[in-house]
Amino acid sequence: MTTYYEERETLAVAERERALFARLPEALERARQRAPAIAQQLQGIESADIRDRDSLAQVPVVRKSELLQAQLARRGGDAAGSSVQERVFGGFSAVGWGEAARVFASPGPIYEPESRRADYWGFARALYAAGFRRGELVYNCFSYHFTPAGSMMETAAHALGCTVFPGGVGQTEQQLQAMVDLQPSGYTGTPSFLRIILEKAEESGVSLPSLKRAMFSGEAFPPSLQQWFRERGIDGYQAYGTADLGMIAYETPTREGLVVNEDILLEIVRPGTGQPVQQGEVGEVVVTTLNPDYPLLRFGTGDLSAVLPGESACGRRNLRIRGWMGRADQTTKVRGMFVHPGQVAQVVARHADVLRARLVVMGAAGKDTMVFRIETAEASAALAEQVADSVREITKLRADVECVAPGSLPNDGKVIDDARSYE
């Protein structure tokens, strides 16, 4: 029995980077031909010129809100006069009806295709790392309704050679009875729902000795919850993914962050920008996927994370991230005006002496005050006044400016901190 789902998980970082960037131009050209929105995103950029992370960073980031707007703008159009790729998927999909095996809807609604490729969403690697193996029964309690979560785990389990029971969500007593009858070895779903089932089992005096492992997603899975399941004989792991990109990163037995999936390029950028941050700094997760059917390029997830230094002790040598650390969209309303992370970035871009910035909103409700804290090695009253002028011009609001030493601002990904009291 092999340790890894694929041996390329052990490739050195430099070798993996070369392989991914060697594949990228062909993937981009296919996307340019079949996905009009990607062609627009690449306007003025030659696919062959994207050879490394520096050149990739020149491509504009597309965020989930823009994906929704692109779909809304085309929705309800003439079915005879436009392709499914444009009318339904906003020009981001390279496949339409027939080539897509299923179509799903996330809140918005945003529609996502699933093609007929095996393990389309890429979660088989995560299941394997969590101990799932061929010939087992997987009890899948992710939803099969509208969203792709159920299919994500089912297609992954099938790729491993497992049988799947589509439990879905709800009906706790029936779920428990089915588990007693079928004796699955693995569970996929949220940790909260499995806990509900196990607590019901304990109340009923029922044991589930066959259940040994679990793959969780969609919720936090802290060490305290890991221990709770471990005390009941279940080894639980977590994976991080989205309905647009599929699996992004997954936990391994070392439990040191999450290892990035093999067919994506992951960047961490400063919220509100497309600018990559220094390694270890918290920022927004941006992903380029080599999925030929849904070829998202520099897709901003809106999630915060950070790259961990070094390699996993499990032998997988891809990048690791700290996991989900919150949301990057910190848009805040101040005195009736919305302030966006991108506006903070605009202020910083105007002043070469400003390294990082953080807008802190304080005061009681209705009595808002703003403090714009800047990291700079060249603190002066003149710089503070210039920055204050920029803040006022860009946000239409006044702020006090405080200069702090480089490295003083918290490394938590926040560029807007709403510290108001609402009591």
3-state secondary structure labels for all residues of the chain: CCCCCCHHHHCCHHHHHHHHHHHHHHHHHHHHHHCHHHHHHCCCCCHHHCCCHHHHCCCCCEEHHHHHHHHHHHCCCCCCCCCHHHHCCCCCCCCCECCEEEEEEECCCEEEEEECCCCCCCCHHHHHHCCCCCCCEEEECCCCCCCCHHHHHHHHHHHHCCEEEECCCCCHHHHHHHHHHHCCCEEEECHHHHHHHHHHHHHHCCCCCCCCEEEECCCCCCHHHHHHHHCCCCEEEEEEEECCCEEEEECCCCCCCEEECCCEEEEEECCCCCCECCCCCCEEEEEEECCCCCCCCCEEEEEEECEECCCCCCCCCCCEECCCCCECCCCEEECCEEECHHHHHHHHHHCCCCCEEEEEEECECCCCEEEEEEECCCCCHHHHHHHHHHHHHHHCCCCEEEEECCCCCCCCCCCEEECCECC
Predicted confidence at residue 81, as pLDDT, reads 62
Residues of the domain holding 398: 332-418
Structurally, how many domains does the chain consist of? 1
Q: What is the pLDDT of residue 78?
A: 65
Residue 2 counted as domain residue: no
Residue 354 counted as domain residue: yes
* Residue 418: per-residue pLDDT: 85
| Domain annotation covers residue 369 | yes
Residue 343 within a domain: yes
Per-residue model confidence (pLDDT) at position 414: 87
Average pLDDT along the chain, 423 residues, taken 10 residues at a time: 89 94 94 94 94 95 90 77 88 95 91 96 98 98 94 98 96 96 97 94 95 94 93 97 96 96 96 90 95 95 93 95 85 77 91 95 75 95 96 92 95 87 55
Question: Domain for residue 353, yes or no?
Answer: yes
270 assigned to some structural domain: no
Q: In this predicted structure, what is the pLDDT of residue 421?
A: 65
Specify if 327 maps to a domain: no
pLDDT value of position 336: 65
CATH of the domain at 347: 3.30.300.30
Q: Is residue 179 in a domain?
A: no
